[in-house]
Amino acid sequence: MVIRVGDPTTFGNLNPPEQVIQAVKDSIELHSSRGYGPSNGHLEARKAIAEYSAHQGPVKPEDVILCSGCSHALDLAVSVLADAGQNILVPRPGFMIYKTLAEGLGIDVKYYNLLPNQQWNVDLEDLENQIDDDTSAIVVINPSNPCGSVYTKNHLLEIIDIASRNRVPIIADEIYEHFVFSGHEYTALSSLSEDVPVLTCSGLTKRFLVPGWRMGWLIVHDRKGVLGKEVRKGLSNLSTRILGPNTLVQKALPAILTLTPQSFFDEVILFIESNAKLAWESLRGVPGLRPIMPQGAMYMMIEIKMGLFPHFKNDLQFVENLMAEQSVFCLPGQCFEFPNYMRIVLTVPEDVLREACKRMAVFCQHHTTAREKLKVIDCDVIAVASNVICE
């Protein structure tokens, strides 16, 4: 069995609303939903996305390219902005798909640090120091996987300022757009940028709870025409590589984006936020753990005070043993280039989360108090995690 740990449908407790299901049922009857579409997507679907994305700034249908999931949009963005031998800057910790996409094309990945003690804000000095003559894009993930951070307007402006002074475009991964807990505000990065070109990548995946439908999009924001026609042409050419995304869902998009009730989104966020509070409350007193309360998205990062667990070499061995002893699976920080942490997923049913937190507490109690008696299970993490996709 393959477990996709970042898939909100895994446990069956979170489902799209009936309007979304109905939209696809209606689409299946259409003759036009069976054939190939234009490789950049059907015009009505691109129009619907342009309207849905008005919070990002002025968007026209010709600024939108439909993609097979947000990861395809990221692939187009990285491919069009960077050449082999150049580099892109990605956050650490961060979702690791950029490395896979870039390195396959001979593009280097350089990391800029996020600050765990400042709600995972960007270390601005580090970001600026990483930029060199070969830097072709800065990736910003907001809200963040794995941190669950949501940047304030001011912080986004600070990032944009660095990009502007150094003339580097931004790839804004906003697949968790609008996924924000109470008291926090999501602002589309592109809405704040005057001169820095922003390629925003998003999709239905998380917000509409349909990752398997593989419907994402890329939106070009280039108000001063800095990227010129070449980049738009390049994106259009690149989109022909897969002959366009799934037409069945494209045809359903106008209904999906306009008919989904706000109450559906509110309920999903409320559920995830309540799980975040539950996990934080349950784990904050556990010896050796320091959960960091997220502000949005679907994840929580937890620091593992490795010094209190001397029998474990690193976070990988910690989660490996947690899995072997308590059947609780967390992704080790190493998966996000950030050792001594682990990430938990907040979309699981409440009773499962409660039980998982209890077991984590038992595990930590045991390994911090009776550590000299301990015999660490030295299983190979690859064997444990080989069926788990790190997303």
**Type of residue found at 97:** I
CA dihedral in degrees (106, 233, 69, 5; nearest 10)? 20
Q: Which of residues 224-263 bind ligand PLP (CB under 6 A)?
A: none
Contact (Cβ atoms closer than 8 angstroms) between residue 51 and residue 74: no
Please, what is the minimum distance in Å from the beta carbon of residue 114 to ligand PLP?
13
Task: Give the range of 34-42, 64-72, 123-131, 361-369 binding ligand PLP by CB under 6 A.
Answer: 64-72
**Residue 6 touches ligand PLP, criterion: CB under 6 A:** yes
Residues contacting 366, CB < 8 A, separation 6+: 374
- Sign of the alpha-carbon dihedral angle for 70, 227, 240, 78: negative
**Type of residue found at 327:** S
The two tokens of residue 244 are 């366009």
R_g of the chain, CA atoms, integer Å: 21
Supply the DSSP string of 352-371, one letter for each residue: HHHHHHHHHHHHHHHHHHSG
Please, what is the minimum distance in Å from the beta carbon of residue 383 to ligand PLP?
24
- When the beta carbons of 42 and 343 are compared against ligand PLP, the nearer one is 343
Please, what is the minimum distance in Å from the beta carbon of residue 85 to ligand PLP?
25
**Residue 70 touches ligand PLP, criterion: CB under 6 A:** yes
Place of tokens 């449908």: 9
Task: Give the range of 68-76, 270-278, 323-331, 353-361 binding ligand PLP by CB under 6 A.
Answer: 68-76
- When the beta carbons of 9 and 368 are compared against ligand PLP, the nearer one is 9
Query: Residue 84 CB: number of other CB atoms within 10 A?
Result: 9
Q: Which of residues 307-346 bind ligand PLP (CB under 6 A)?
A: none
Q: Which of residues 137-176 bind ligand PLP (CB under 6 A)?
A: 141, 145, 173, 175
**Type of residue found at 359:** R
Place of tokens 């911090």: 368
Please, what is the minimum distance in Å from the beta carbon of residue 67 to ligand PLP?
8
Task: Give the range of 49-57, 65-73, 150-158, 305-313 binding ligand PLP by CB under 6 A.
Answer: 65-73
Please, what is the minimum distance in Å from the beta carbon of residue 297 to ligand PLP?
8
The two tokens of residue 306 are 């490795």
Q: Judging by beta carbons within 10 Å of its beta carbon (0-12, 13-18, 19+), is residue 263 exposed, middle or buried?
A: exposed
Please, what is the minimum distance in Å from the beta carbon of residue 363 to ligand PLP?
26
* Neighbouring C-alpha atoms within 13 Å toward the C-beta of 120: 28
According to CB under 6 A, which one of 40, 53, 71, 113 is a site residue for ligand PLP? Answer: 71
Binding mask 12-41 for ligand PLP (x = CB under 6 A): ------------------------------
**Residue 8 touches ligand PLP, criterion: CB under 6 A:** no
Please, what is the minimum distance in Å from the beta carbon of residue 19 to ligand PLP?
20
Give the whole-angstrom CA distance, residue 354 versus residue 55.
Answer: 36
Give the whole-angstrom CA distance, residue 377 versus residue 224.
Answer: 58
Please, what is the minimum distance in Å from the beta carbon of residue 295 to ligand PLP?
15
- When the beta carbons of 179 and 363 are compared against ligand PLP, the nearer one is 179
- Sign of the alpha-carbon dihedral angle for 224, 230, 232, 234: negative
According to CB under 6 A, which one of 8, 16, 37, 69 is a site residue for ligand PLP? Answer: 69
Q: Which of residues 182-221 bind ligand PLP (CB under 6 A)?
A: 203, 205, 211, 216
- Contacting residues toward ligand PLP, per CB under 6 A: 6, 69-71, 95, 141, 145, 173, 175, 203, 205, 211, 216, 391
